[in-house]
Structure 1
Amino acid sequence: MRAARVLLVDQKKLLCGLDWVPVLAESAFSRAQARRLGATLVVWSGEPPAALGLARGVPGRGRCWSLADLWARLYPEGSRACILALDTQTWHVLAAHQGVALVRGDRSYPSLELALASMQAMRLACPGLEMLPAPDPAGVQALLHTLASQATPDLAMQPVRSSPVRRYGVPFGLALGAAAWLHTQAAQNTAISHATPPAVLWQEALDQALHGRFIHGAAGTRALLQTLYRQPVRLAGWDLLEVHCQPHMGGASWSCQADYRRQAQGADNRGLLEHAPGTWALEFSSLDRARAIWSVSVPARQVTPAALPRAHWVTRDWSSALQASLPAFHRLHLEPAHTLSVAAPQDAEGQPLAEPSSGLPAISMRGLQVEGPLRSGFLLTSMVESVSWHKLSLVVTTGVRPDLRTSRLTLRLEGVIYENGS
């Protein structure tokens, strides 16, 4: 269970990011289910209740309200959904059907693209779902104030007690009747039961597996190469030995370090400090060695299955382009494809769901290693649209006789190419 996020609006705590499960009514059975799942606060959505919202990890005390439930109460008829930009890195999806919060209609995503993909997946389960225009920042605040104005005490979330009250007051016949009702409702084609078909759950599992995976493509590759092209080979009597760069989480920010050796007789630390770029942080490990450290921004975009090349194209055309470039590099190595691992989603009973036979993109990756003259790097920019780099280095070697495949400045790149096998 995910921890809910707290939004303080008009001195009221609105919770978003709850876990939602279909229920038949507000009952001791659903309360027991909430305790079993580790929830600390619950809310029932719908009249009569048809979905149960579960929250945990809520800091502080006082009343809390579910943002998704308040949204659902705005639309007692029809199906409505929208995307709220809660901050520069969070896009939250709200969705409801007939006044009931949808099971997948209370989730946050790190990009607008992922939020839109989730919305489209819900539309497969609920074809009548109307996607309302995404409000601007002022509109988001206005909507939050509107929802907060509905947050009356009787709609506040309820605490889950460790020792349920009236445990022995629930007749056996009621529990048996609830089981019979559950069996009957499962056979009906309701919007709530259709809110979580296996195909949608698998699509969300794939989205989760791709979360945090980025592609640098041609623009990112050019930016990385420009970092090396701008690197001084000799600066104030200090000679460059090597450069190493690696990405932070997300792939758009890289950390680089360059090692220098004092070469000229009159070179000193003061001279290097005076001539070094302002973005550098310099460390001196000895009288003859220095290390420059800096960061660089690199264009990167989220991996999107629909934008990836097909596996047969990679094998036939892309690999052929690499083969044509082989004379300009010391080494170009493309590894066999391996399938992206996706954790199987679970059903309401906690059992893994079978993967759908069709409709789910089959994403694969191939490792790619590049080694050759720095000058040959520009050849890569025309054929790396689906490549994600995770290591960049430049090594300066003396005593090398340059030719087509070798140079004093040796470029090394490591990454993966993403492909769509479906």
Structure 2
Amino acid sequence: MVDFARLSALRDTVAIVGVGETDYPQDYGRARRGERCQDAYGYAAAAFRRALADSGLERRDIDGLVAGPALAGERLGEVLGMDVRWADQADAVQAVLKAAMAIHSGVAECVALVYGNDQRTGGTAYGGPNAMGGERHLAYTYYAPWGLTSQGALYALLANRYLAVTGLSERELGGVAVAQRAFARLNPNAVMRRPLDIDEYLNGRYICEPLRLFDYCLVNDGGVALIVTTAERARRMDRPAVLLSGIGRSDHNREATSLRPRLEYFYRPAQRQAADQVYAMAGMGPSEMDVLQIYDSFSIHVPLALEGFGFCADGAVGKLLSSGDLGPGGPLPVNTSGGHLSGSYMQGWGHQVECVRQLRAEAAGRQVPGARNAQYISDVAGKVTSLIYRRAGT
């Protein structure tokens, strides 16, 4: 059982005080032209330098480090010139959680979360017989005998059942890609900024039916970094801070390798449990979220999260997707940087940066007016996690 008293003790005790990203469209262009690009550590170092400068801190102030999954933690510390007293390795959302717990427990005071990936120039395979991670038995490698050797195949299977059960149409699903492209056009650091309307979406070729080209995430190089410290230290700094106010987590692993949680439940029980946790801890609910970031390696993640976390009633997501409400100027802005579909595929790390920029009112042309609360949701492989961020002082 979740101990809400102990969990709530973490509320607003840590703050993100610095963020940094690399230049995604420029690096994407270089990669497509076959020009020399940085490796994963080079991208990570560039993002770290920018995050450190953004925070106003010195390198010597950092006493903790969490490395993204494409990096070796020891090597990353060497590249960044740091000898920290506490270090770990995690994906985007777990990196935030681990940093928060390390700071709250007192083993570190100021933690850098650093990610870098040269997945495009490095030729990372996310499907086929040489799929990345096959040696560690990633979920989608279990299904090779049935031809399901990529995440796209698994999510297409999920999407087919979801559309059949709920009545969601392909046109309505296309509203996800269209809305996120509209945000990407307002983001100078987004990879895909050409206009996209629903007709072009529907004319896009199927990659794995019913998922079309525009339902798939990008594959691009880049780096992301965040600097996390105590709320007390953040208050002493001459920078706007963003507090971590809510945490929700629920794993849905029963019969996961037979796809049952995806195909029968659409992760709904785990989503509801994670939603109960994150909203109770933060003391707010879906109606109070000004900005929503959803992990979107495929567009189908978005309707699952919207229904699962109570942003609309079950069965009403199609109308929401096609209404324009998720795009610029809408009442529920989702993936305001362009997300993974049009902005940059940094495996959830960029979503954290976008939450911070929106809450610090630093998102320029895509800025959501008066944004005070932002939520992040991911439901990767049955591990549903959500974070709620709040602008300090509100």
User: What TM-score do you get using the length of structure 2 for normalisation?
Assistant: 0.19
Bigger helix fraction: 2
Instruction: Identify the structure with bigger relative contact order (alpha carbons < 8 Å, sequence gap 6+).
Output: 2
In terms of Rg, which structure is larger?
Answer: 1
Bigger strand fraction: 1
User: What TM-score do you get using the length of structure 1 for normalisation?
Assistant: 0.18
